[in-house]
Amino acid sequence: MERYAIVGFGCAGYHCARSLRENGFNGEIHVYTDTGRAPENPMLTTYVTAGRLPEEAGCPFGSLENITRNLGLTVHPGRVSLVSPADMEVRSQSGRAAVYDKLLVSTGARAFVPPMDGQDSPSAYTMRTMDDARRLRARLERGDVKSAVVVGASMVGIKVVELLRQRGVDCTLSDMAPHIFPLAAFDTVAAEIERRLERAGVALAFGRGISGLRDRSEGGVSVLLSDGSCVACDIAVLCIGTRPNLELLPPGALSRDRGGILVDETMESSVPGVYAAGDCASCTNLQTGVPQAVGLWANAGRQGDVAGASMAGVRDVYEGNLVHNITHFMDMDFISLGDRGLPGEHRVYSRRDGGLWLEATTDGGELRCVNILDCKEISGIVRGLLLRQLRGGGAPDILLLEKLRRSGVDGAFIKLLEGEVQ
């Protein structure tokens, strides 16, 4: 009987296991998880911290016990010390070693904390896992947090700012970039978001990276910034970004880039029989054709599905994805669709305070990146039509285009989505 292993049991790992069974694999599936818990959705951690969702909602696939029973898994809790693609071997820190016929590496990513003085301060927090959510929530429930610095003007960082402001905590949002959402927002859109944040009482400290943390004798911590200034606060929350968890692999064992393990369209790595999926894998950016890690929940699920089918011998492909971000915070909806880094002509299609705010970059009559503020209802339509363009699909749905018109979207922008060169 064939034996497959899944190392790392988050969204991608779960989808792989389910896909294996759905595609007829009847052999053994061994799952290695260092948490010993059901797969968690890191995108829900701020909601759990804020008390808007119960902890169990952070595990959308149910309990580990039920998953194990329903999918016929053998679960190995505890840390893995080595994954050897050359030998198809997985070694646990407990000393257990086993060889498998095929492997999936789905170890995900972790919150990045730069090496610096004070990085282990008890007043410093990250926001990635449910453990992070529990720790920050417990600190906030003590009721003595009056001020905070959130480092990282990211989608996670702004959600942390939101939950802190809802508790009446004075917040400073800091980032080494000159504007909020530097990888997603045009400068003009970012400036509008920043104006609204300041109006809501959020202090901004952009263009200054963090250089260290220093615990204060009276309690709390001072956040040291790269320009020599410091901000005293009760807690600091670091939302600087993520790094793929690849330490289990020997150097050079699999082809990889900065974003993660390089895979083909079936999610197979450079070593036959070894697959990768989720936040530790680097897949095709549909706009550039270049491998890139796109750390989104839906991506991880789809990649896991494809990996499971491929491991089971059923043809399926992951074509790649469009870089996109959709988030709601502090009475604002921000949507970015497409690669912000691609060159193109910047055009403003609508700027209405409290209404539709739409800007885009175009190149040769094709959309490159779109920013939408305050009109989340159209984000799914625009994303779908943009993906249709990238994949060379047929004519767009007339009803969808009409919905955009009724929402007040500029006719010139709609023509771009229709594929008409402006």
**In a 3-state reduction of DSSP, which class is residue 282?**
strand
Q: Quick one: pLDDT at residue 332?
A: 92
Q: Where are the beta strands (DSSP E) in 179-269?
A: 203-206, 210-215, 221-225, 230-233, 235-238, 242-244, 256-257, 260-262
At residue 421, the pLDDT reads: 45
The H helix count followed by the E strand count for the chain is 10, 27
Q: For each of the chain's 422 residues, which pLDDT tens digit applies?
A: 899 999 999 999 999 999 999 999 999 999 999 998 999 999 999 999 999 999 999 999 999 999 999 999 999 999 999 999 999 999 999 889 999 999 999 999 999 999 999 999 999 999 999 999 999 999 999 999 999 999 999 999 999 999 999 999 999 999 999 999 999 999 999 999 999 999 999 999 999 999 999 999 999 999 999 999 999 999 999 999 999 999 999 999 999 998 899 999 999 999 999 999 999 999 999 888 899 888 899 999 999 999 999 999 999 999 998 888 989 999 999 999 899 999 999 999 888 766 788 999 999 888 899 999 987 778 788 888 887 777 766 667 788 888 888 888 888 888 888 775 44
Phi and psi at residue 95, to the nearest 5°: 105, -10
Q: What is the pLDDT of residue 393?
A: 66
Q: What is the pLDDT of residue 354?
A: 63
pLDDT at 399: 83
CB atoms within 10 A of CB 52: 12
Domains of the chain are 3-110+243-311 (3.50.50.60), 124-240 (3.50.50.60), 342-418 (no CATH)
The pLDDT, as a whole number, for residue 258 is 85
- pTM, to two decimals: 0.92
Helix axes 411-418, 398-406, angle to 10 degrees: 160
Q: Say what the pLDDT of residue 415 is.
A: 85
What is the rounded (10 degree) CA torsion for 17, 20, 22, 24?
-150
Sequence length of the chain is 422
Angle at which helix 379-390 crosses helix 398-406, to 10 degrees, equals 140
380 neighbors 355 (Cβ within 8 angstroms): no
250 C-beta neighbours (distance < 10 Å), count: 11
Please, are residues 372 and 334 in contact by the beta-carbon 8 Å criterion? yes
Answer yes or no: are the C-beta atoms of 214 and 400 closer than 8 Å. no
pLDDT at 395: 67
Q: Are 89 and 97 in contact (CB under 8 A)?
A: yes
